[in-house]
Amino acid sequence: MNTDHISQTLQRYVDNGELAGCALLVRKDDELVYDGKFGCADLKTSAPVTDRTIFRMASMTKCVTAAAVLKMIEDGRMDLDDPVSKYLPAFAGLQVMDDPRYAFRGKSSMVLAMLRLPFFRMDEVKRKPANRQITIRDLLSHASGLEMGIAGLLGMMKHDVNDTLASRVDAYSRFVLDFQPGTATGYSPCASFDILGYILELVSGKPVEEHLRETLFEPLGMADATFHPTPEQKARTARVYTRKGKRLADVTGTKKDLEGIVRVKPDSPYTACCGGLHCTAKDYEKFGRMLCNEGVYNGRRFLKAETVALMRTEAQPIHLEPEPGYTWGLGVKIRQDPARGGSPCTAGTYGWSGALGTHFLVSPRDRLELVFAASRADLGGSGSYISAEVEKLVFGTFVQS
């Protein structure tokens, strides 16, 4: 099958200064059908993107955290509908925002709310009782109301950066919910999956990175998967860029870098289960291959087929759409009605994206998965025009043809 047009398009993004470099892996029917690397990991040194280039996976970390939680549920150590307070008692008394100052009324209300940021105090937000407690299911499917509206996002930006996962989760226990649990949806950038990561620590009795390494990273052969890169790994990590005019500016180590996005201090022990995973594209593709093969990798079963099916099934009992044609599964977004959502994917395709240009999808119907890795901070995450083009190229080539 001719894939020259895919390579030409990705090379054009590099030549035009839209990307410093990128990598794309596509697997169909368990065969690697595309493996392309383009441009530079570091424009200053001209170091090329290779199989060993490490990328900041950002929110694609959430899919990995979700898989680890589902494994715990599969093993009977947790339940999907457990209240969070079963593990973290401080979350038993959460209340819901009932304050017109922080009601969402379109983009203009968010702009006006940002003007209040210097004066915002979570304890001054008017509130009412929650109808029920938030659950593991709510966290996995972005339906808890935690950090999912104006008050929650202002709280996230306003509270002090804490240096451990435990201290951040403790801070979230004092947040007000932006809506009644299970009644609406949106996107929880940090809180939900950091809480899930901390629950993994409590249930496993181990630091969450150690637990993930033992149960996923090492068995899958994800050799470079880490939340705290070594000096040698840092040297292989792609620099982060933003586009200024027709040129790329290096913003590595600034507030626009991943550390700035998740607000982590240098050398902090905090493990960002919401978005802190670093690995190569080939590392992440191994995780994707396991999901595409219904929980099996290289003959070893990591998740039951029914667990993988549950992951990609609409999670909440009432239909909630973060955008037209899309719903949340458990840690992944599902293309439930691709035509209505303007997506070229097959119905049932699921995955997620990262703020720095990473993108990941699995199509169960087509037995296809793709992993795209880039390192540009102003692409818009899941709304990236480059990710949309990658979807169009991959599904147009390997499915529709």
- Tell me: do 77 and 112 sit in the same domain: yes
Q: Tell me what pLDDT residue 30 has.
A: 96
Task: Give the span between the Cα atoms of 377 and 256, in whole angstroms.
Answer: 6
Judged by average pLDDT, the poorest of 177-191, 265-279, 330-344 is 265-279
Name the more confident of 268 and 285.
285
Distances in whole angstroms, Cα of residue 265 to Cα of each of 79, 271, 272, 325: 34, 11, 12, 38
User: Helix, strand or coil for residue 396?
Assistant: helix
Same domain, 113 and 223: no
Q: Are strands 368-374 and 247-250 parallel, antiparallel or unpaired?
A: unpaired
* 273 and 299 fall within a common domain: yes
Q: Identify whether residues 173 and 286 lie together within a single domain.
A: no
Pair 250, 172 in one domain: no
Instruction: Indicate the pLDDT class of residue 162, thresholds 50, 70 and 90.
Output: low
Q: Are residues 45 and 71 in the same domain?
A: no
Write out the two tokens for 237: 């990590």
Confidence of residue 341 (pLDDT cuts 50, 70, 90): very high
Do 301 and 175 share a domain, yes or no?
A: no
Look at residues 175, 204, 233 and tell me which one is the last residue of a structural domain: 204
Residue 58 lies in a domain: no
DSSP 376: B
Same domain for 91 and 134: yes
> What integer is the mean pLDDT of 217-238?
97
Does residue 161 carry a pLDDT above 80?
A: no
pLDDT at 376: 97
Let me know if residue 228 belongs to a domain: yes
Does 279 fall in a domain?
Answer: yes
- For residues 362 and 345, the answer to whether their CB atoms sit within 8 Å is no
Domain boundary among 204, 225, 249: 204
Q: Tell me what percent of the residues of the chain surpass a pLDDT of 70.
A: 99
Per-residue pLDDT tens over the stretch 6-26: 999 999 999 999 999 999 999
With cut-offs at 50, 70 and 90, classify the pLDDT of residue 392. Answer: very high
Asked if residue 390 and residue 334 are part of one domain, the reply reads yes
> Which residues form the domain of 119?
67-204
- CATH code of 380's domain: 3.40.710.10
pLDDT at 49 (0 to 100): 98
pLDDT score recorded for residue 308: 98
Q: Which of 151, 172, 150 is nearest to 160 (CA)?
A: 172
Strand order in the sheet with 21-28: 47-48, 31-42, 21-28, 368-374, 359-363, 350-353, 333-335, 326-328
* CA-wise closest residue to 193 among 215, 165, 154, 157: 165
pLDDT reading at 264 higher than 80: no
Position 221 pLDDT exceeds 90: yes
* Number of domains the chain is built from: 2
Reply yes or no on whether the pLDDT at 267 is more than 90: no
**363 occurs within a structural domain:** yes
pLDDT in tens, 352-365: 999 999 999 999 99
What pLDDT sits at residue 112? 78
Residue 65 has pLDDT above 60, yes or no: yes
Which residue, of 204, 239, 267, is where some domain finishes? 204
Would residue 357 count as lying in a domain? yes
Mean per-residue pLDDT for 233-261?
92
pLDDT for res 63: 98
273-328 pLDDT, tens digit per residue, is 999 999 999 999 999 999 999 999 999 999 999 999 999 999 999 999 999 999 99
Number of CB atoms found within 10 A of residue 250's CB: 15
**Which residue(s) pair with 280 in the sheet?**
54
0.75 exceeded by pTM: yes
Q: How far apart are CA 211 and CA 288, in angstroms?
A: 19
Q: How far apart are the first and last CA of the chain?
A: 10
Question: Are 16 and 125 contained in the same domain?
Answer: no
- Give tens-digit pLDDT for 82-135: 999 999 999 999 999 999 988 887 777 777 778 888 889 999 999 999 999 999
- Of the chain, the percentage scoring pLDDT greater than 90 comes to 86
What average pLDDT does range 141-161 have in this prediction?
Answer: 89
pLDDT number for residue 118: 86
